[in-house]
């Protein structure tokens, strides 16, 4: 028995579906609100649901699998060539449906909640590091305007800031000095937040044999190993995946 293939274009509020009736060949297009999506698929025979590997796709993939459907996530770069008209939700859903029909198409594995949790920690950490770097560079630049030349390197530079402020105290506004000191306290809190995230990753590693095996490779540390395992899941599929598919 042939199963029905659905092209599903995800959105925050209104979803767009595209499928073809296997018996009559009739093309169906349907819009539905987010809350109605699972109810619709719960009342359909198990089929193939194709989606772009975009925001919330892994969540919907897990939920649709619970209902007995097969889920196929496609990288957006593979869908784009099949958009036949001006880009809109209906055209995107049809393009997703068209893409998944290709016999040589490669698919993105649906991530588990645990994988997404670990990747979320990595993303939060990356953002904290980015903000911390921006904050350090700003302090360095502001003090340079008043003659303070801090050494290169985050830790070395920050270590010299209190002495630089003390040297400039008689020349600078107390409000400015207090503001810089507040930024230093904020940097200390960011350091703590980053360290806490790394502790969480270290705790997760203890139950992950695949992470331990990766870390046994020279030059592979905690962040690289946990990031790779959370991203790929089954390492057997790693060599078949591109960076666009992974992220």
- Return the DSSP state at 13: S
Residues 6 or more apart whose Cβ sits within 8 Å of residue 118: 201, 204, 226, 227, 229, 230
CA 224 – CA 145 distance, rounded (Å): 38
For residue range 34-59, list pLDDT tens digits in order.
999 999 999 999 999 999 999 899 99
A 10 A CB-CB count for 68 gives 12
Class of domain 5-100: alpha beta
Q: Is 60 in a helix, a strand, or coil?
A: helix
Q: What is the pTM of this model?
A: 0.81
Helix or strand holding residue 229 (H, E): helix 222-232
For residue range 3-14, list pLDDT tens digits in order.
999 999 999 899
Q: Where are the domains of the chain?
A: 5-100, 113-246
Whether 1 shows a pLDDT value over 80: the answer reads: no
Inter-CA distances, 228 with 62, 92, 235, 241, Å: 20, 30, 9, 12
Percent of the chain with pLDDT over 70: 94
Inter-CA distances, 100 with 39, 74, 106, 107, Å: 23, 8, 9, 9
Name the pairing type of β-strands 70-74 and 27-33: unpaired
Place of tokens 């990288």: 75
* Confidence category of residue 204, pLDDT binned at 50, 70, 90: very high
Outline where 12-150 has alpha helix (H). 37-42, 57-66, 76-79, 89-100, 113-144
């Amino acid at each position: 028995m042939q199963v029905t293939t659905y092209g599903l274009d995800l959105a925050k509020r209104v979803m767009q579906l595209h499928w073809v009736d296997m018996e009559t060949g009739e093309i169906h297009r349907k819009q539905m609100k987010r809350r109605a999506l699972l109810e619709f698929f719960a009342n359909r025979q198990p089929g193939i649901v194709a989606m772009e590997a975009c925001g919330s796709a892994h969540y919907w993939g897990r939920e649709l699998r619970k209902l007995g459907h097969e889920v196929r996530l496609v990288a957006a770069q593979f869908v784009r060539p099949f958009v036949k008209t001006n880009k809109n939700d209906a055209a995107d859903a049809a393009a997703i449906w068209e893409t998944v029909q290709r016999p040589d198409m490669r698919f993105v594995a649906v991530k588990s909640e645990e994988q997404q949790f670990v990747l979320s920690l990595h993303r939060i950490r990356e953002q904290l590091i980015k903000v911390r770097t921006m904050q350090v560079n700003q302090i360095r630049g502001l003090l340079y305007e008043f003659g303070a030349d801090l050494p290169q390197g985050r830790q070395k530079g920050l270590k010299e800031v209190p002495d630089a402020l003390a040297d400039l105290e008689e020349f600078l506004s107390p409000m400015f000095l207090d503001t810089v000191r507040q930024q230093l306290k904020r940097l200390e809190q960011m350091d703590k937040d980053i360290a806490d995230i790394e502790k969480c990753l270290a705790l997760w590693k203890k139950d992950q044999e695949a992470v331990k095996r990766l870390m046994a490779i020279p030059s592979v540390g905690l962040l690289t190993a946990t990031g790779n395992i959370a991203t790929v899941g089954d390492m057997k599929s790693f060599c078949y995946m591109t960076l666009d598919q992974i992220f």
